[in-house]
Structure 1
C-alpha cells in the first residue's frame, strides 16, 4: 500500500503522513529538506499531521549537527535546523515512514536494494518533484506506488554541496525549495481527495 492509499483509508480522521529524507551523511541536504518540510508544512497543519525526519546512507558519527554552511543558508531563509542531528538509516525506517525521499539516484538504489519486501514505504527521488507534479497527477489521477511514475532526468538529483563553498549550499537550498513545496502540494491533494 502506498502512502497515497494509506491517506485514503484514513478519511474519517485527520490524515497523518511520515516523511524521511535521505542523503549521504545527513549533515547537508537531508537536514535542509527536513527543516524546509517542517517549516512549509505548518501551513497544512489543518489538513494532515506531518512527521518529518532525515538520515544518511553512510552517516559516520551519529548526532552531529548540520554543516555550518547549511545552518547559515537555513538561518538566512528563516528556517530552523534546531534539534536536527545526524543519524544513519536503519531497517526500522522502512516501516516507520510512509514516504522516503532520496537526494540522488545512488541513494535511491541503495534504499530500494535494502528495502524489506514487507515494507509499505513509497521510495522516491526528491528531485523529481522539482519539475512539477507526478505524471499520473498531470493525467488527472493519483499514481500507484513506485518511483517509476515520475519522469526521471539526470537533473533530478540534488547535488552534494559538501565539497563546495557557501554558494553551493545556496544552490542546493534553491533546488530543495520547489521540490519540498511540490511534495506538500501532492500530500494536500491526496488528503483532499480522501475526504
Structure 2
C-alpha cells in the first residue's frame, strides 16, 4: 500500500469533464502543500481521444475559475491504469459500469465522482494519519456505505461537450463543488 495514493478521473473522451476535475484536484492538492504530495491525480477516457488537447470550452471554464489545465492531453483508459489506481472516479454511472464490466476486481475502488462525494463527504478519517492513509480510509468507508439507488443517472455529471459556453461553466461549477466535498475530509485543516 505504501505512502502514495493514486486517483484516476474518467469521462468519455478525456477532453472535457475529467480534465477539468483533474485540474481542480491538482490545484487543491498544491494549495494544501507538501502534506498532499503523496496523492497523484490523472485522468483518462473510456473512449479516450489519444493526444487531443482539452476542449476549448473546458479550458475557458477552468480559466474563469483561475485554474490551469497544465497542458492536458487526452488518453484512453486501460486495465493497467485502473489496476494501478487506488480510487477511480467517473463522470457517469455508465462509465463506472463499463470499467467494472472489464475489471470487476476494481469494484471497491470505483465510483461515480458524485457518488463518492456523497458517500465520503460526511466521513471523518483518522486525523493523525497521513493523507494517503486517510484517503484509503475514505475509499473503504464509501464502499461500506454504497447502495444501489432506485433511479439511474442521479450521480452523472452532465456532459457539456459540443454545447454552449454556459454548459461548460455550469459543469465546472458543479465539479468544483463536488471536488470540494470529496476533498474536505481528506485534506483536513492544518493547525
Which TM bucket (shorter chain)? 0.7 to 0.9
**Which residue number corresponds to residue 124 of structure 1?**
111
1:59 to 40, 45, 48: 48
Equivalent positions of 1:109-148 (< 5 A) are 109-115=97-103, 117=105, 122-131=109-118, 133-134=120-121, 137=123, 144=140, 147=143
Equivalent positions of 1:1-195 (< 5 A) are 6=1, 10=2, 15-48=3-36, 49-60=38-49, 62-115=50-103, 117=105, 122-131=109-118, 133-134=120-121, 137=123, 144=140, 147=143, 149-150=145-146, 154-188=153-187
Corresponding residue SS for 1:25: coil
**Which residue number corresponds to residue 3 of structure 1?**
none
Q: Distance in 2 between matches of 1:134 and 1:174?
A: 18
CA contact (8 A) 2:9 2:88 kept: yes
For structure 2, list consecutive stretches of 5 or more residues without a partner in the other structure: 127-136
Q: 1:94 to 1:178 in 2, by over 3 A?
A: same
Q: Distance in 1 between matches of 2:16 and 2:187?
A: 27
| TM-score, with length taken from structure 1 | 0.77
**Which residue number corresponds to residue 130 of structure 2?**
none
Q: State the Cα distance separating 1:101 from its structure 2 match.
A: 0.2
Q: 1:122 to 1:128 in 2, by over 3 A?
A: same
CA contact (8 A) 2:13 2:47 kept: yes
Q: Distance in 1 between matches of 2:88 and 2:101?
A: 14
Structure 1 residues 29-69: Cα deviation after superposition (integer angstroms, max 9, x where no partner): 00000000001111333323221111100124x11000001
For structure 1, list consecutive stretches of 5 or more residues without a partner in the other structure: 1-5
Pairwise CA RMSD: 2.8
**How many positions carry a matched residue from both structures?**
174
CA contact (8 A) 2:92 2:157 kept: yes
Q: Distance in 1 between matches of 2:34 and 2:109?
A: 23
Corresponding residue SS for 2:187: helix
| TM-score, with length taken from structure 2 | 0.78
